Structures are given as structure tokens and as C-alpha cells.
Amino acid sequence: MDKRRCVILGGAPIGNYPAVKAYLRDGDAVIACDAGLRHLEPLGVTPALIVGDFDSHENPHLAVETIVLPHEKDDTDTMYAVREALRRGFKEFLLLGVFGARLDHTLGNLGILHFLDSRGVPALAVDDFSEMCIVSRGEALVSDAYPYFSLLAADGPAEGVTIRDALYTLEDARITPDWQVGVSNEPLPGRTARITVRKGRLLLIRDRKE
């Protein structure tokens, strides 16, 4: 098992590099996926692995292990990179450059968070404005450093949803894709909102202060 965190760099635009770069840690293992290569220099990182079919970025032919994928395949470059990282033993993920621009890729990459959660692997996705993770087990926290947060039923109903120490509380509630009652909540000042889910999964979006 590789005890480092795996950072997946996708090809979606990143506009606020300083905010995104703040999530990086020393020792992270970076996998750049095709057009994600353009984020290497602004983020100041060197990839441990490059993956892609190179339809949106040319192969840089760096002295780095590179997996060249066919154009026609079942997995996106990003999904392939995640599977490869799991195969290599990574047990924690940070996803950057995976949300934005193309909605189809954004929704497909949202599925990666569900995929990792179903395997008990913690993952955080970060864009210019927020951070996203799946809540399905244990307790999720949102400190008052975040002005807003939302809970979305992205892959079916979630049962037994409890939210405490927030402006809008819930107790043993049900959130469904057609009744997104968890949108736009706020931690109470000086408190940390606490979230649990008895059954199902919710997408937790923490919006950062700008």
C-alpha cells in the first residue's frame, strides 16, 4: 500500500491557482491526466505518472512514466488514472481540475467520488470556489470558516440525514434527487456543523470564503 496521497490533475480549467495550491501537501504523488498537464507549472508540481490519450494536450515526452491510452475506451483518462492509482495501492485522493467547463465531464467526474466512496477510499475534489466530498459513513464536519455548505442527493435517496449546529437543522430526514432540501446551509457562528447519514450517500459541498 502506498501511504502517500494521490493527487489527480484533470483538464478542467483552474482560475484560482493559489487557492487550489493551498490543498497540496509535501509528499503528494501527482498523476497528470492529458490536459491536466497544463496545471503542473502553475501549481508547482512534478508528476509521478502521466496518463492520457493526448487528444486535448500533446504528449510532452517527459522523463516520467507515461501511459498512453487509446482514443476509444470505456473509461475517461481521469477514471483510468484513478483505477491505476488504486491498483498501485493509494488509499487517499485529492482531485483537482475535474469540475468545470464541460458539464458531461463534470458529472462523470462526480461519479469518481462515488466510485471511491463505494470502496471506502476518502477523496476530496477542489475547484476555484469550493471543496466536495461524499458523506456516507461516520460524521462529516463543516466549520464556520466556510460561509455556506450544501448536501445533495446525487445518486439516489439518502435516509436518516441529521444536521446539527447549522442554521437549518435536520433530524433523521430524507433527501432525494427530486427534493434537494439540503441546498445552501450555514454553520452557526463559532460552531462546527455536524452531518451524519444512516443510509445512502450525499455530496457535501463546502463553499470557501473568497
Whether pLDDT at 83 is above 70: yes
Domains recognised in the chain with CATH numbers: 6-128 (3.40.50.10240), 135-207 (2.60.120.320)
Give the angle 127-130-133 at the CA atoms, nearest 5°.
90
Span 111-120, pLDDT tens digits: 999 999 999 9
**What Rg, from alpha-carbon coordinates, does the chain have?**
18
pLDDT at 72: 83
71-100 mean pLDDT: 93
Torsion of CA 54, 58, 63, 69, to 10 degrees: 10
Do 143 and 31 contact (CB within 8 A), yes or no?
A: no
Task: Quickly state the pLDDT bin for 57 (edges 50, 70, 90).
Answer: confident
Span 139-172, pLDDT tens digits: 999 999 999 999 999 889 999 999 999 999 999 9
Angle of helix 103-118 relative to helix 77-87, nearest 10 degrees, comes to 20
